[in-house]
Amino acid sequence: MSLEDGKMLRVLNGQQMQETDRFTIDQMHMPSMVLMEKAAEAVVNTVLQETTSSDRILVVCGSGNNGADGVAAARMLHLKGRRVSAFLVGNREHLTKESALQWHIAANYDVDEVNNPDWSEYTVIIDAMFGTGLSREVSGKYAEIIRRINASGARVYAVDIPSGIHAGTGQVLGEAVRADCTVTFAFYKTGCLLYPGASFCGRLLLEDVGIYPMDSPYDPDIRLLEKEDLRLRKKRDPGGNKGTFGKVLLIVGNEEIYGAAFMSARAAFLSGAGMVKILTSEKNSPILKQSLPEAMVETITLDNYREKLDKALFWADQVGIGPGIGTDEKAEKMVQYVLEHCDKPLVLDADALNVAGKHPEWLKKRRGEMILTPHMGEMSRLTGTTVAELKKDPFGYARQASRQWDAIIVLKDARTCIAASDGQMYLHAYGNSGMATAGSGDVLTGTILGQISVCDTVSQAACMGVLLHGLAGDLAAEEKGEASLTAMDICGKLPEILRQF
């Protein structure tokens, strides 16, 4: 299996989910009421496992089909002998056909309905107000009910997505329910995985309810990176040599900026590279030779950068530039020269991105495949878009940048969005807050470079590097805690993750 073969888990936005629902009903001839019953059953099974008969349950239902799922769940809980009430939010005259039928069935089964709930009475609340179709801000009585739910102290389960979260972007539309657990159906929703939406979901459970993907391609087509995807990497050749496993060139570290050079080079070695050559400033050379004797270390200056880069680029299999190089004249000349002359896979990170932000036309001159790894601030400088706007649609902006520069974009944030040069999108949901630490990006640069020689494509290497980096960060956080995590802690866990696969 490869990243391109379509077998990875899809992640859908709200519009895509509605289209897929409709495809399942209209083209596959699966009755919508059957889908509702299966969705309600999935929620009920989770609630039954995690609550007791003494719990008092309130199901808060909207007038749409998400609310219909909730009414069906209330009926099932009632039939299981649970103390449950259903509360309709909104106008009964606005019920969908399916929702009206579910309320009629619930009445036939004597499910208790309340019109003005005492919120302090309930220990469990099931949120079925709004589903994936919500696109406008929640206000008025709906916002007040969400505030009541959040202030209730009850354990909250969300049906498909917490009410008030945009299913595509994860943005909070005015007010949003803070769930302890979200039971989502058929596909993960981008809004449940991107922040801030992810922080409102609590524990996220994916349940199969009989909804299947459409025959036509999704746009954008987003796939979720999972731990097992590391098995996509090529097996290490038992007959190989140090040249077989990748010769990595790193152009890193300005005057006395030693750490970025060390961390990126160390990560390249630990993630599988056979050889690493570092071009750095003269002051960094002695300490790098002592602390990282495995690497070849050479000095690069404003006077000799063309000669040094020509020889090093010819030697290398893959190239990284940026960590710690600064943004002075030498840095600008090196970045421009590499973009114009490098025909090997190239990773631009950190200061190289800041230089490119001043001269975006240089990105068009590169000759080989290119990976850009900006965090939100660097992406803002590259594109002239505010960080706030980028966060509203990270996939959209990553894809736009990928098309503009014919590059692979690794847009780093609490959730990393990857736009491959072929238009495919990937979402990385591992990692933790401790990885927001100095040097973490330098480790990622080296990790991606270390993957290029063991992957079928450069896009795959970008994904595997991000995945490996995130899993190493999570493993390190288990030992050190998130608050105390350092970049070298992440680096140190790379071998342990690789050994598992």
Question: Is 107 within the bounds of a domain?
Answer: yes
Task: Answer whether residue 5 shows pLDDT above 70.
Answer: no
Residue-wise DSSP of 358-380? H-GGGGGG--S-EEE--BHHHHH
Residues 337, 190, single domain; the answer is no
Residues 256, 314, single domain; the answer is yes
- Residue 160 CA to residue 200 CA, distance in Å, equals 12
What mean pLDDT is reported for the chain? 95
Counting DSSP H helices and E strands in the chain, the numbers are: 19, 19
Cβ-count burial 82-115 (b if 16+ within 10 Å, e if not): bbbbbbbbbeeeebbebbbbbbeebeeeebebee
Which of 21-30, 229-238, 323-332 has the least mean pLDDT?
Answer: 229-238
Nearest to 429 by CA among 184, 186, 148, 198: 198
Taking the CA atoms of the chain, what radius of gyration do you get in angstroms? 26
Task: Answer whether residue 165 shows pLDDT above 70.
Answer: yes
Residue 422's pLDDT band (boundaries 50, 70, 90)?
confident
Task: Answer whether residue 16 shows pLDDT above 50.
Answer: yes
pLDDT at 1: 32
pLDDT at 101: 98
Cβ contacts of 82 within 8 Å, gap of 6 or more = 48, 51, 53, 55, 57
pLDDT at 6: 45
Nearest to 124 by CA among 184, 199, 53: 53
Average pLDDT of span 457-482: 97
Residues 253, 200, single domain; the answer is no
User: Among the three residues 188, 223, 258, which one is the final residue of a domain in this structure?
Assistant: 223
Average pLDDT of span 393-407: 95
Average pLDDT of span 61-84: 98
Task: Answer whether residue 259 shows pLDDT above 50.
Answer: yes
- Residue 101 CA to residue 442 CA, distance in Å, equals 57
Q: Which amino acid is at 146?
A: I
pLDDT at 2: 40
Q: Which two tokens stand for residue 495?
A: 């071998």
pLDDT at 501: 86
Question: Is 3 within the bounds of a domain?
Answer: no
* Three-class secondary structure of residue 70 per DSSP: helix
Quote the Cα angle for 320-323-327, to 5°. 110
- Residue 161 CA to residue 182 CA, distance in Å, equals 6
Question: Is 430 within the bounds of a domain?
Answer: yes
* Three-class secondary structure of residue 190 per DSSP: helix
pLDDT at 4: 47
Residues 259, 331, single domain; the answer is yes
Neighbours of 392 (CB within 10 A): 17
Average pLDDT of span 421-425: 89
pLDDT at 90: 83
Average pLDDT of span 360-378: 95
Residues 160, 273, single domain; the answer is no
Nearest to 462 by CA among 335, 357, 348: 348
Query: Beta partners for 124?
Result: 57, 155
Residue 121 per-residue DSSP state: G
Q: How far is CA 116 from the centre of its chain?
A: 40
Residues 328, 197, single domain; the answer is no
| Residue 167 vs residue 5, higher pLDDT | 167
E-state strands within 219-274: 222-224, 247-251
pLDDT at 237: 85
Q: What is the pTM of this model?
A: 0.94
Residues 397, 468, single domain; the answer is yes
Contact present, 18 and 96 (Cβ < 8 Å): no
Residue 51: Cβ-neighbour burial (10 angstroms; 0-12, 13-18, 19+): middle
pLDDT at 498: 95
What is the enclosing helix (H) or strand (E) of 106? Answer: helix 97-108
Average pLDDT of span 112-130: 97
Tens of pLDDT along 442-452?
Answer: 999 999 999 99
Residues 186, 152, single domain; the answer is yes
Question: Is 228 within the bounds of a domain?
Answer: no
Residues 216, 273, single domain; the answer is no
Question: Is 166 within the bounds of a domain?
Answer: yes
Residues 214, 258, single domain; the answer is no
Residue 338 per-residue DSSP state: H
Average pLDDT of span 344-350: 98
Average pLDDT of span 73-83: 98
Nearest to 174 by CA among 155, 156, 200: 200
Residue 224 per-residue DSSP state: E
pLDDT at 7: 61
Q: Which amino acid is at 42?
A: A
E-state strands within 41-159: 56-61, 83-88, 112-114, 124-128, 155-159
| CATH number of the domain bearing residue 415 | 3.40.1190.20
Question: Is 144 within the bounds of a domain?
Answer: yes
Residue-wise DSSP of 379-443? HHHHHT--HHHHHH-HHHHHHHHHHHHTSEEEEBSSSEEEE-TTS-EEEE----GGGSSTTHHHH
Task: Answer whether residue 235 shows pLDDT above 90.
Answer: no
Task: Answer whether residue 465 shows pLDDT above 80.
Answer: yes
- Residue 253 CA to residue 258 CA, distance in Å, equals 6
| Domain of residue 62, residue span | 10-223
Question: Is 427 within the bounds of a domain?
Answer: yes
Task: Answer whether residue 232 shows pLDDT above 80.
Answer: yes
Instruction: Provide φ and ψ at 92, rounded to 5°.
Output: -60, -25
Per residue, the 3-state secondary structure of 469-481, as one string, reads HHHHHHHHHHHHC
Nearest to 488 by CA among 447, 427, 428: 447
Residues 343, 480, single domain; the answer is yes
How many angstroms separate the Cα of 449 from the Cα of each of 54, 84, 132, 159? 56, 55, 38, 41
Residues 293, 399, single domain; the answer is yes
User: Among the three residues 159, 190, 223, which one is the final residue of a domain in this structure?
Assistant: 223
Average pLDDT of span 337-348: 97
* Three-class secondary structure of residue 220 per DSSP: coil
| CATH number of the domain bearing residue 76 | 3.40.50.10260
User: Among the three residues 191, 223, 255, which one is the final residue of a domain in this structure?
Assistant: 223
- Residue 292 CA to residue 11 CA, distance in Å, equals 41
Contact present, 159 and 201 (Cβ < 8 Å): no
Q: Bin 33: left if φ > 0, else alpha if -120 < ψ < 50, else beta.
A: alpha
Average pLDDT of span 168-187: 97
Task: Answer whether residue 15 shows pLDDT above 70.
Answer: yes
Average pLDDT of span 58-82: 98
| Residue 153 vs residue 255, higher pLDDT | 153
Question: Is 230 within the bounds of a domain?
Answer: no
The domain tally of the chain equals 2
